[in-house]
Amino acid sequence: MSPSADTPSPPPSPSHRPKILVPEKVSSEGLALLRSLYEVDTRTGLSASDLLELIPSYHGLIVRSETQVTAELLAAGRKLRVVARAGVGVDNINVDAATKHGIIVVNSPAGNIVAAAEHTIALLLATARNVGRADASVKAGKWERSKLVGIEVGHKTLGIIGLGKVGMKVARMAIGLGMKVTALDPYASPEVAKGAGVSLVSSLAELLPTVDFLTIHTPLLASTLNLLGEAELQKMKPTSRVLNVARGGVYNEEALLKALDEGWIAGAGLDVFTKEPLVEGSAAAKLAAHPKVVATPHLGASTVEAQENVSMDVCTQVLEILRGGLPTAAVNAPLILPEEYRRLQPFVKLVEKMGSLYTQHFARTQGGMVGGRRFELSYHGELAGISNTRPLFAALVKGLVSSISDAGGRDVNIVNATLITKDRGIAIDEKHVRDDGGAHASAVTLRSFEAGAEEQVIEGYVSGKAIFISKLDRFTANFHPDGTLLVLHNYDEPGKIGNVGLVVGKHGINIRFMQVAGLNQEARAKAEASVADGPVEGEAEGAAVGGGQQLTKEALMILGVDGEVTKEVLEELGKAEGILDVSLVRL
């Protein structure tokens, strides 16, 4: 009988839906993805104390740049599983504290690339042609053409610090305007830069004196904070202009103000500041009001398209995380490339089911304990070629503890999986076996070891989008690990299937599928060898032969069932003739 197909699980009831807090304005297109499954609470204008009071009841938090996600807030969010930043930078989120609490932090590194690059070019042109001052002058009823003579950007040099996705987009746009582009980025590929028409330099000292415009596209880190101060700005041409659509603080604001006042540079186009909104009397506020500055209120990602893109991106990731899937841009976990994500997704489900099957089928005889055992998770075939298997490791941990933890494994993710194994005394080794995967392109083997005990094995594979268990301990199988399963260890003799069917039928339990799994070749050979070796010392010859013959006829009967399987049902099945053991598995 062929294994059954996947059956989608019904959505949770409204009273049990995970809750997501959105304290800032986030595009509704993404939030609409979440509302069918989760309770989405959009509450703008909350104070820090309001957030601290509300956060304990939420499972997800979606923010932009204004909300400060502090260590205190994360510690209070006892149910929090994910914090999503609808944008690129996460400097308003305490990522280390999130990692400590096992909370995944995701962002949208690609959603606003075009918007940020276009705004950079907009500020470049605005500073070159005095657009801000000209607009204010005309609105004031003046006509000051002679005071507002600008410069052309064609044939000028644009310097870029940080040639990442946004920096490269800016470079290509600038080249389209007829500019020469020079960049500083120690991690940039010389071949890629050359192919884009960008010249790379090795230091600020080499870059600064040569540029007519300078833009920075780096995150705000300890190494980039106040990257440009007085000494650096003094190295620039007095006709040069600087731009910032990245993060406030990469330019020292006091130094930049002095550079404009002293005439070290000619102007600036600023979209970001160290403190937003601006604090009256601060260097940032003075910069924004300076006649040589074109200032905008953090509009780099503020386009309809960008807001929709980042909203859809982070909300999709929140959706996946809350239902046990993989994020595509986890800040505090290894990056999952899209192609790896697609390849790993079905195996994540398979490995989680294998872990849960182990705990419920094997570990139940130890009181449900998996601690103190050593596990080996082996990847075969094409799967062995994937280096980032952290999601599979986390899936195994989640499966192992799901049936024995209060949270049902929902508190396990790629961020905290290793910590959970240490807390529970579980040792897991991963092996990449460079074989052909046997009968399947990719396969997974889970082995469990304990001193003085036999090795326990579960093997599985993926076919299309369906997952299958192909080996359960000493038995060759081929079943779909889903729903409620009854696993009966029995002697493979006539009448066993009928007897089991009568018991479950009497209790109103429907059988969805049934499979008989026989001993694999290695186990059968051992059983036959035990018969040939004869009785051990102190054992009657007839008993030994009979026992050995029985060993060669062992099998597993695996039933997928619908209906309530009570303790009484299990006891009645266990008493049936020829049934050696019965386990109930819920997957």
Q: Are 536 and 473 in contact (CB under 8 A)?
A: no
- 75 shares its domain with 128: no
Q: What is the pLDDT of residues 189-221, one digit of tens each?
A: 899 999 999 999 999 999 999 999 999 998 887
Whether 103 and 125 map to the same domain: the answer is: no
Tokens coding 102: 């096992």
Residues 278 and 316 in one domain: no
Given the structure tokens 């007095």, which residue do they identify?
238
Q: Indicate if 61 and 198 belong to the same structural domain.
A: no
Beta strands in 74-197 (DSSP E): 82-85, 104-106, 157-161, 180-184
- Residue 161's DSSP bridge partners are 184, 216
pLDDT band with cut points at 50, 70 and 90 for residue 457: very high
Find the CATH number of the domain harbouring 543.
3.30.1330.90
Q: Say yes or no to pLDDT of 288 above 60.
A: yes
For residue 220, tell me if it sits in a domain: yes
- Please write the tens of the pLDDT for every residue from 413-450: 778 788 788 877 889 999 999 876 577 889 999 999 87
Under 8 Å between Cβ of 322 and 82: yes
pLDDT at 387: 82
Percent pLDDT > 70 in the chain is: 88
**3-state class percentages of the chain: helix first, strand second, coil last, to nearest 5:** 40, 20, 40
Q: Are 252 and 233 part of one and the same domain?
A: yes
Annotated catalytic residue within 241, 298, 373, 480: 298
Which residues are paired to 46 by β-bridges? none
Are 491 and 523 part of one and the same domain?
A: yes
Residue 276 bears catalytic tag = yes
The catalytic residue among 66, 276, 450, 539 is 276
Asked, for residue 9, whether it belongs to a domain, the answer is: no
Q: 282-286, 365-369, 434-438: which has the minimum mean pLDDT?
A: 365-369
- Choose the weakest-confidence range: 189-193, 385-389, 408-412, 536-540: 536-540
Known catalytic residue at 59: no
Q: Is residue 5 included in any domain, yes or no? A: no
How many angstroms separate the CA atoms of 175 and 198, rounded? 9
Q: From CA 377, how far away is CA 449, in angstroms rounded?
A: 12
Same domain, yes or no, for 262 and 212? yes
Q: What is the DSSP letter of 282?
A: S
Degrees, nearest 5: CA angle 537-538-543: 100
Task: Please pick, among 81, 247, 361, 380, the residue that the annotation labels catalytic.
Answer: 247
pLDDT band at 546 (very low <50, low <70, confident <90, very high): very low
pLDDT reported for residue 422: 83
Within this chain, do residues 288 and 176 fall inside the same structural domain, yes or no?
yes
The answer to the question of residue 4 being in a domain is: no
Domain shared by 121 and 148, yes or no: yes
In the chain, the amino acid numbered 510 is: N
Q: Quick: pLDDT tens for 560-570.
A: 999 999 999 99
The answer on 532 and 433 residing in a single domain is yes
- Residue 373 annotated as catalytic: no
Distance in angstroms (rounded) separating the CA atoms of residues 240 and 525 = 83
**Residue 369 confidence (pLDDT):** 55
Give the β-pairing of 60-63 and 19-22: parallel
**Domain for residue 331, yes or no?**
no
C-beta neighbour count of 178 within 10 angstroms: 11
Q: Count structural domains, the chain.
A: 3
- Looking at the domain assignment, is residue 485 inside a domain? yes
526 lies in some domain:
yes
Q: Are residues 150 and 100 in the same domain?
A: no
| Domain of residue 209, CATH code | 3.40.50.720
- Rg, the chain, Cα only: 32
Answer yes or no: do 396 and 248 share one domain.
no
Its sign, for the CA torsion 376, 382, 385, 389, is negative
For 518-524, what is the mean pLDDT? 80
280 Cα distance to chain centroid: 40
How does pLDDT run across 132-175, given as a tens digit for each residue?
999 999 999 999 999 999 999 999 999 999 998 899 999 999 99
Report DSSP letters for 32-71, one per residue. HHHHTTSEEEE-TT--HHHHHHHGGG-SEEEE-SSS-B-H
Q: Give the integer Cα–Cα distance in Å for 213 and 159.
A: 6
Domain that holds residue 503: 338-586
